[in-house]
Amino acid sequence: MESGSGEGTGGFSAMDDYETLISTTDADLLKRSWRNEKAAPEILQFESSLVQRSREQIQLMEETVEEFMKNGEDPLTVSLYQMDIDRTLFLLRSYLRTRLQKIEKFMFHIQKTADLWTRLSRQEQKFAKRSIEDMKQHLEQSVLTKLPDRYKSHLKQSVISEEDDMVMEPKLDAFVICRTRKFLGSLPVDDSGEENPLDMYAGDIYALRYKSIKPLIETGQLDLV
Residue 145 contacts residue 152 (beta carbons within 8 Å): yes
Interface region with another protein, contact rule CB under 8 A, candidates 8-16, 70-78, 117-125, 214-222: 70-78
80 binds another protein (CB under 8 A): yes
Near another protein in 89-148, by CB under 8 A: 90
Largest CA distance in the chain: 72
Interface region with another protein, contact rule CB under 8 A, candidates 3-11, 51-59, 112-120, 214-222: 51-59
Taking CB under 8 A as the criterion, the residue among 153, 190, 214, 220 binding another protein is 190
68 binds another protein (CB under 8 A): no
Near another protein in 155-174, by CB under 8 A: 157-158, 160-162, 165, 168-169, 171, 173-174
Interface region with another protein, contact rule CB under 8 A, candidates 11-19, 78-86, 124-132, 214-222: 78-86
What does each C-alpha distance from 45 to 53, 111, 213, 214 come to in angstroms?
16, 15, 15, 12
Residue 48 contacts residue 121 (beta carbons within 8 Å): yes
Instruction: Name the DSSP letter for residue 146.
Output: G
Q: How far is the CB of 75 from another protein (least distance, A)?
A: 10
Rg of the Cα atoms in the chain: 23
Residue 171 contacts residue 144 (beta carbons within 8 Å): no
Phi and psi of 46, rounded to 5°?
A: -70, 130
Near another protein in 193-212, by CB under 8 A: 196, 198, 203-209
61 binds another protein (CB under 8 A): yes
